[in-house]
Amino acid sequence: MKRNPAPAHAPIKGFWGGFIAFLIPLALVSPWAAHAEFPKLLGELTSSDRETRAKSLMRMARQREEAVSCLLLVVDSDATDDDTRHDAIALLGEHRAVSAIQVLLKHLEFAPHMCISEDIPLARYPAANALAMIGNPAAARIIEYLQRSEHPLTEQRLRIFAFILYQVDGKTLALERLRIAHERARKGQAMENLSQLTRLLATPDFEDMRNWPKPKPRLGTRSQN
């Protein structure tokens, strides 16, 4: 059975994996991380007192929200260079930050010159890869976006959407999701966009590397939003 390609930044599994993924952006954007709070936090998390552990986890949740908010500001700023935007987007994907979906859709076709890996379909599109990592909430938002679309979408954008849905759902489930969305669509252009996306995904050689979305060459270091 053919396996779906994995996202460029594979998820770190387990509690400690999630904890480490949580700490990385804090080390970059949070004053809390710069004041040697980690040993104290680790001590609270392993405390025998349930209330101490609960308060520590609540503080972590608040810090996570602050970190995600900071990363979103970095991603959406016109002053951010390509490499920094790429890293911030990757961290949002590692965080599975549902609150970042709208901003990631805005930067869907952002393709920095830097590319860590080219052996997966969305390697050149960090925002698209982050959406695939967020999973079902992102796929549902893409379907909602398509159902409300009033203008034709480029084949490139549709192809990126196709690979996000493919990585989240697999081909069979993604096609079923699109079929239901098409039935519920009310606008002619939305139905056409969904039909085009369905045809792309249903192509027998869809997974072939030659069909992967490829950014057009561009000059400069800023994203084209």
Residue pair 89/204 in contact (Cβ under 8 Å)? The answer is no
Please tell me the distance from the alpha carbon of residue 3 to that of residue 135, in angstroms, as a whole number: 17
User: 114, 80, 76: which is closest to 92 by C-alpha?
Assistant: 76
- Is the per-residue pLDDT at 216 higher than 80? no
Please tell me the distance from the alpha carbon of residue 25 to that of residue 65, in angstroms, as a whole number: 11
DSSP 124: T
Q: Which amino acid is at 17?
A: G
What is the mean pLDDT of the segment spanning 115-140? 86
Across 152-177, b (16+ Cβ under 10 Å) vs e yields ebeeebbbbbbbbbbbbbebeebbeb
User: CA of 117: how far to CAs of 11, 101, 125, 164, in Å?
Assistant: 15, 23, 11, 17
Contacts of 57 (CB under 8 A, 6+ apart): 45
User: How much is the pTM?
Assistant: 0.73
Q: pLDDT per residue over 11-42, tens digit each? A: 434 443 444 444 445 544 444 444 456 667 66
Return mean pLDDT, the chain. Answer: 79
Six-digit token string for 219: 């000059």
Which stretch of DSSP H or E encloses residue 184? helix 171-184
Please tell me the distance from the alpha carbon of residue 140 to that of residue 174, in angstroms, as a whole number: 11
Percentage of the chain surpassing pLDDT 70?
A: 75
Q: pLDDT per residue over 96-118, tens digit each? A: 999 999 999 999 999 887 555 56
User: 225, 200, 221, 196: which is closest to 211 by C-alpha?
Assistant: 200
Percentage of the chain surpassing pLDDT 90?
A: 48
Task: Burial-class residue 46 by CB neighbours within 10 Å (0-12, 13-18, 19+).
Answer: exposed
Residue pair 148/160 in contact (Cβ under 8 Å)? The answer is no
Q: How many helices and strands, by DSSP H and E, does the chain display? A: 11, 0
